[in-house]
Structures are given as structure tokens and as C-alpha cells.
Amino acid sequence: MPPRPNSVEARDVAHHLHPYTNARRHEEIGPIVMAKGDGVYVEDIDGKRYIEAMAGLWSVAVGFSEQRLVDAAARQMAQLPYYHSFTHKTHAPVVDLAEKLIALAPVPMSKVHFTNSGSEANDLIVKLLRYRSNALGEPARKTIISRLRGYHGVTLASASLTGLPNNHASFDLPGEGVVHTMCPHYWREGEAGESEEAFAARCAAELRATIEARGPETIAAFIAEPVMGAGGVVVPPPTYWAEIKAVLADYPDILFVADEVICGFGRTGEMFGSTYYGLEPDIMTVSKALSSSYLPISAVLMNEKVYGPIAEESARIGTFGHGFTASGHPVAAAVALENLAIIEERGLVANARERGERLQSGLRTLSGHPLVGEVRGIGLIAGVELVTDKEKKIAVQPPGALAAKAFGLIQERGVISRAIGDTLAFCPPLIITDDQIDTVVATVRDGLDALAGEMGMAG
């Protein structure tokens, strides 16, 4: 049904191009308009309440309408509403936040550079890697290895790192200087009779072969999420990261970039996904839960191995020729500091670990459902992949149609998830309770049962 004339919905359709949306379909059906949020809940303008089981976009760690974050923003807005960090200027919130991030980092880091989104941060990393290689007198070392189904953003450079077809189609991407290796999704990519250990070894062998084929002297870095998020919540096999670390150890001049935009600040049940897997990144990207997305902010953390050559090159040139107007914005930095304090004071990392066990076990009770092919996840991030043929691991055509239908039925029942291909993703705020998790699981089951009924399959 088209939106009512002159309604918020109709004005949205008339004037707003939405991200990750079928624009023509949006013209037909219009948006759901959200009006307020509280804890793990959001409410639309018609008064319908939903459990936001995606924490917005993987990001609202401390929940909606946290008064301490509102107050932190107001205090900073009243004192210093804006300033920059160009040409030797700074302010207390950005210094305090940089210091805090260095202290929290899972491995020794040297410096932090602030940006406004994960996409911007990863775009900057591409620039930094080129800058550093030139500083080292290694102009050939510019290629970055990423992974199929990895997600690293949507700018020209970061979308090239991303390994998802819809982020490339008609944008003339990926650009030069990026090569993608296989996705570590055993259920989907494992060969017949292949063990998880053998599959992990094959992933590592492909990475090594890629490095050798390109020439180790041409590879600047390998970038990866500890757990893939927007690629469908892909949790690697238990031995995967040990295998990958062993390959990278043989090429010490190739840097490792950990994209912690989704995994960072508690999502896996550890402060960082790198901690969960024992990773030792040279560079880290953080965003989303850094401020619980109350304000846009992201950061690139780099070790001395990365920073040193960059600093020297800035001295040679006379400046580090990069920066955004809002880099390290004082209000965003103040909110991020208060957000991190809440995460620590309320034990939300431990809560993610404990409540995560309930979410994972609850969703795994759906494994026998006729529409469920695989349930996967760790901590408070999970994916339920839907199929219509469990043996062949396929769903109805076109791809994504089955999960889109399930997503709609579940949303109608009061739980917001996200359909990624034919996977339903879940990533609730870190404050979620056992009862709320049980409601999410029961609602998902009810929605899948309804869909199975429509399709003539036993629920």
C-alpha cells in the first residue's frame, strides 16, 4: 500500500534515497518510521514496539536512550561543541579517548587516528598502507588481500576491500590493488568428506598461494574481521586463525589488519574479537559500539611498526596530508568515553559472554526446523541460514527471497533481525536479558513456522 499523502512516510519517499534499499520498491511501500527507543526496544510512530535484535546496525551496545550518553553529549556541547585536531591542535576528549583505546587494545599500539565511520577508517587504512610503503622505499608493496564475503565498508577503497557482489555491482568495483581469497565458511565452502581442520588448512594454503603468486614484496597487508558480520555471520573453524597466523608469520613484512568494527567492545564475549582468537594485529579498525552509534565516530589503531615510517614521511613532506573536518569531534569523543565507561562498569562484556550462551543455545534449538540449514555464532552475534533443501543446502530462487520473507514475518511479530542473503542475522544490544533472548527465539520460531505453513512444509 502506498504511503498516505503528506505523511512522514510519503515525504520520505518523495525526498530520501535510502541505503541498502530497493529504491523502486521503497516508492511502492514506504518506510517504517521509528519514533523512540528504550533499552533493547524501539517503537514506531504507530506505537508498535520491537525488540531491536540487530542493535540498529550491529552497534547500539548499551541500548537505546541511555541517559548518561545524552548527558555526556550535552556537557561537551555546552563546553566545546566543536574543534579540530589539524596543525597541532587538540582537546581533552580526543586525547582521553586515544589514551583509553591504546590501554584497551589487545596488543601494544602506538597511535590512534580518528575518523567518522568504519568505511572511512578502512579507506584511510588503504591510504596509510600506500603512504607507508612509499616511505619505506617499497613502492611495489601496495596490494591488500581481503576475503570473499568480508565486509569493510562502502567508500571506493573500502568497498573494494569488501567481498560482496552487491557492493561491487554497477559501481565498477573492486578497484585495483585488492585481491580476495576464500571465505572461511565450512558449512557452505567445505568439500565432501573434508574435516573442519582440513578446510582451515586449505584456506591458509590458498592465502599462501595468493601471496606467492602475487609476490610477497607486493603485498602490503591482509585484512579480515575476526568473525564476519555483514557477510552472513561467518564464524571460522576452530583452527582457522592459528593456520592463518602461521602463514602470516612467514611473511613478517605483510601487515595484519583486524577489522573490529562489529566484533569490538564485547560482541564476542571478549573486549575484542582479536582477544577471542589470540590475534596480534598491526592495525585495528573500531567504530559502531565505540559510541553505541549515538554519534558517528571511528578510529584506526596502529602499532609502532606502522606509525614510525608514516611519521618519518610526514616529516620529509612537511605534513601528514590527511584529515576530516570532524576527525575526533569533541562531542563524539566524549560520548564514546562515557559509552566505554558504561561497558566496563556494568560488565557488559561478561554479559555478552553469558547471555550469548543462551542466545546460541536458543537459536540452535531451531536446527531441526525444516527451513533451517545452519545456526552459527559466538557471544551475542548469530546467524540462522535458511534453506528449502537441507541436503543440497539451497533455498528458493532468487537468492535471498526466503530470508526476506522470514524477516518480514518475524518483524511483524515484534523482533527486528536482518536478512543477509538467506541468513537471518542477530546482534542484540549487550544489555539484553535472558527473558528478552527467549522472546527473540520464540518469535523467530513462530515466524519460521508461519512461513513453513505458507509453503506447505511441516513446522
What secondary structure does DSSP assign to 286-340, as a single string? E-GGGTTTSS--EEEEE-HHHHHHHHHHHHHHSS-----TTTT-HHHHHHHHHHH
Other Cβ atoms within 10 Å of 262 Cβ, number:
28
Classified by CATH at the fold level, domain 69-345 comes out as Aspartate Aminotransferase; domain 2 (3.40.640)
Q: Which residues pair with 270 in a beta bridge?
A: none
CATH classification code of 32-62+347-454? 3.90.1150.10
- Residue 427 pLDDT: 98
Q: According to the model, what pLDDT value does residue 4 have?
A: 78
| Percentage of residues in the chain having pLDDT higher than 70 | 99
pLDDT tens for each residue of 87-122: 999 999 999 999 999 999 999 999 999 999 999 999
If pLDDT is split at 50, 70 and 90, which confidence band does 3 have?
confident
DSSP 63: -
Coil, helix or strand for 343?
A: helix
Average pLDDT of the chain, as a whole number: 97
pLDDT (tens digit per residue) in 335-363: 999 999 999 999 999 999 999 999 999 99
Q: C-alpha distances in angstroms, 100 versus 112, 180, 350, 432, 456? A: 10, 33, 19, 25, 55
Q: What is the pLDDT of residue 1?
A: 64
| Chain segment 420-456, per-residue pLDDT in tens | 999 999 999 999 999 999 999 999 999 999 999 999 9
What is the rounded average pLDDT of the residues 238-248? 98
Q: What is the pLDDT of residue 11?
A: 96
| Per-residue pLDDT, 5 | 80
Per-residue pLDDT at 459 exceeds 60: no
Question: In the prediction, which pLDDT does 6 show?
Answer: 83
Where do the structural domains in the chain lie, given as residue ranges? 32-62+347-454, 69-345
CA distance 235 to 96: 34
Asked if residues 390 and 422 have their Cβ atoms less than 8 Å apart, the reply is no
pLDDT, position 55? 98
In this predicted structure, the answer to whether residue 220 has a pLDDT above a threshold of 80 is: yes
Q: What integer is the mean pLDDT of 321-328?
A: 97
**In sequence order, what are the residues at sequence separation of 6 or more whose Cβ sits closer than 8 angstroms to the Cβ of residue 15?**
none
Q: 217 pLDDT exceeds 60?
A: yes
